[in-house]
Amino acid sequence: MVQKKKRLVIRSIILAILVAAIAYTVYVTATKDPNKVIKAGDSAPNFVLTDLDGKKHQLSDYKGQGVLLNFWGTWCPPCKEEMPALNNAYAKYKDQNVQVISINIAQSNFEVQNFVDEYKLNFPMTIDRSKSVMRAYNVDQLPATFLINKEGKITEIITHGITETQFEQYMESIKPQ
């Protein structure tokens, strides 16, 4: 009888492992996304980029502050549209521990500087030449705005143009209390 029980247990375990393995395989294939997706709630990948003034910005240096990352390119109309709004919102919140880092996707210094001058932008403007930050954040459409709270967690990802009031609301949401 003992032997019979042992046999039943062993068989059950083996079958359970097999079923679990098959179920896992089917589940993973069914839900597989070709790219590892960064989503709200994840901690923001650290990076370092140099802005047009030669100042380095490393994300981890801003721990304890809220950070708004804005990925953009000059060829992207909604990116251009939201820039003045972002500039105004930045002016309001820069003294309330909300940092803005704007990340241009691998364009030339000339184009970016020209753009900054034209729009009179005050926030730090960096260029991601190797596109490594873009990849780290899985940015595939522009504009892309990432809200990062003081713990370094991404709270929201916005992939469309944003108005000034919305920018203010977003910054309010990541402002350290």
Nearest to 175 by CA among 114, 97, 88: 97
Task: Please identify, among the stretches 90-98, 100-108, 143-151, 154-162, the one whose residues bind other proteins according to the rule CB under 8 A.
Answer: 100-108
Among residues 64, 84, 96, 114, the one that binds other proteins under rule CB under 8 A: 114
- Do the Cβ atoms of 146 and 68 come closer than 8 Å? yes
Residue 17 or 40 with smaller CB distance to other proteins? 17
- Do the Cβ atoms of 174 and 68 come closer than 8 Å? yes
How many residues touch other proteins under the rule CB under 8 A: the total is: 47
Contact between 43 and other proteins per CB under 8 A: no
**Please, which residues have CB within 8 angstroms of residue 117's CB and are 6 or more apart in sequence?**
none
Report 50-69 residues binding other proteins (CB under 8 A): 58
Among residues 54, 89, 108, 176, the one that binds other proteins under rule CB under 8 A: 108
Residue 112 or 171 with smaller CB distance to other proteins? 112
Contact between 29 and other proteins per CB under 8 A: yes
Q: What distances in angstroms separate CA 123 from CA 1, 27, 57, 75, 98, one per listed residue?
A: 78, 45, 12, 20, 11
Angle between helices 77-93 and 164-174 (to 10 degrees): 50
Among residues 38, 52, 65, 73, the one that binds other proteins under rule CB under 8 A: 73
Using CA atoms, how far apart are residues 88 and 165, in angstroms rounded to an integer? 10
**Please, which residues have CB within 8 angstroms of residue 143's CB and are 6 or more apart in sequence?**
70, 71, 72, 76, 78, 79, 82, 159, 160, 161, 162
Residue 82 or 93 with smaller CB distance to other proteins? 82
DSSP 94: G
The nearest distance, CB 75 to other proteins, in angstroms, is 4
The nearest distance, CB 155 to other proteins, in angstroms, is 20
Query: Which stretches of the chain bind other proteins, using CB under 8 A?
Result: 3-4, 7-8, 11-12, 14-15, 18, 21-22, 24-26, 28-30, 32, 34, 36, 45-49, 58, 73-75, 105-111, 113-114, 126, 128-133, 135-136
